[in-house]
Amino acid sequence: MLIATWNVNSIRSRLDQVQAWLTQQQPDVLCLQETKVADAEFPQAPFQALGYHCIFYGQKSYNGVAILSRDPVTVVSYGFGDPQWDEQKRLVHVQTQGLHIVNVYVPNGSDLNTDKYHYKLAWLTRLHYYLKPWVGEPLVVGGDFNIAPDDRDYYDPECAGGIMASEPERQALQKLLDLPLVDAFRQFTPDPGHYSWWDYRQGSFRRNRGWRIDHLYVSPAAQPQIRRCWIDPAPRRLEKPSDHTPVILEIEIPNS
């Protein structure tokens, strides 16, 4: 079973690219972030034509998450189930083939000295409490976390301490990992220089001046079944791409 995560930075702008990637890579599940479309306008038909069920939780112009799945899914939660936290559409949780899949779009935080940064930290705390009851189950948590876990995960050491690499953000992420969850990519690739996001400016992709901020985490119950995890940079080479690229996990599902 292949599970992928991809911040597409507008599903309508990248629709053709996502369709082509699905056709080429044939993932069983694709978690999308930053879909930027209200639910009534989510482009279901093109994905259904490719054999995917569509679960989406979005809003006009901002945020938004979706899950495309070849097999039927049971929706566990749209958001946290708390109006205080669900004004921004950032989480959807489904179950399929005995596996829980939680797709998240963590707030960026903007700048260390802003209310958005404090909201990000509070949102991560809320995510911790949301995930805690599920970590005993076979679970995959994927998405754009907007955090580089350690110094291997960005191109320039001078980025340390700034947004997406501040100590409070990393501590909040580590608290999630301590639930426990396992960083699937780092199970197979310990070395630096592997990124999932590159700024549009200053030729960042061409120069590989990137960050690894898109992650796939697995619970201990699912860890023995993971076979590989990798980043696919090909979509970032396309004309007018998302600034993110997919991360893919291969996991063996018993009796699948």
**Domain spans of the chain?**
2-251
Q: Is the pLDDT of residue 256 over 60?
A: no
Long-range pairs for 163-168 at CB < 8 Å and ≥24 separation?
Answer: 163/108, 163/109, 163/110, 163/111, 163/112, 163/117, 164/108, 164/109, 164/211, 164/213, 166/112, 168/121
Q: Look up residue 154 and give its DSSP letter.
A: B
Q: Is the pLDDT of residue 254 over 80?
A: no
Contact 248, 3 (CB under 8 A): yes
Residue 111: its pLDDT value, please? Answer: 95
- Report the candidate in 46, 40, 44 with the shortest Cα–Cα distance to residue 16: 46
Give the dihedral sign, CA 119/147/29/58: positive
Active site residues: 105, 144
- pLDDT digit string, tens, across residues 152-171: 999 998 899 999 999 999 99
Residue 214: its pLDDT value, please? Answer: 98
AA identity, residue 163: I
What average pLDDT does this structure show over 62-69?
98
d(CA 27, CA 7): 15
- pLDDT digit string, tens, across residues 165-204: 999 999 999 999 999 999 999 999 999 999 999 999 999 9
- Report the candidate in 33, 25, 28, 24 with the shortest Cα–Cα distance to residue 6: 33
- pLDDT digit string, tens, across residues 10-35: 999 999 999 999 999 999 999 999 99
Return the CATH class of domain 2-251. Answer: alpha beta
Looking at the chain, the whole-number percentage of residues with pLDDT higher than 90 is 97
Residue 255: its pLDDT value, please? Answer: 66
- pLDDT digit string, tens, across residues 124-148: 999 999 999 999 999 999 999 999 9
Mean pLDDT of the chain: 97
- Count of CB atoms situated within 10 Å of the CB of 23: 9
Residue 101: its pLDDT value, please? Answer: 98
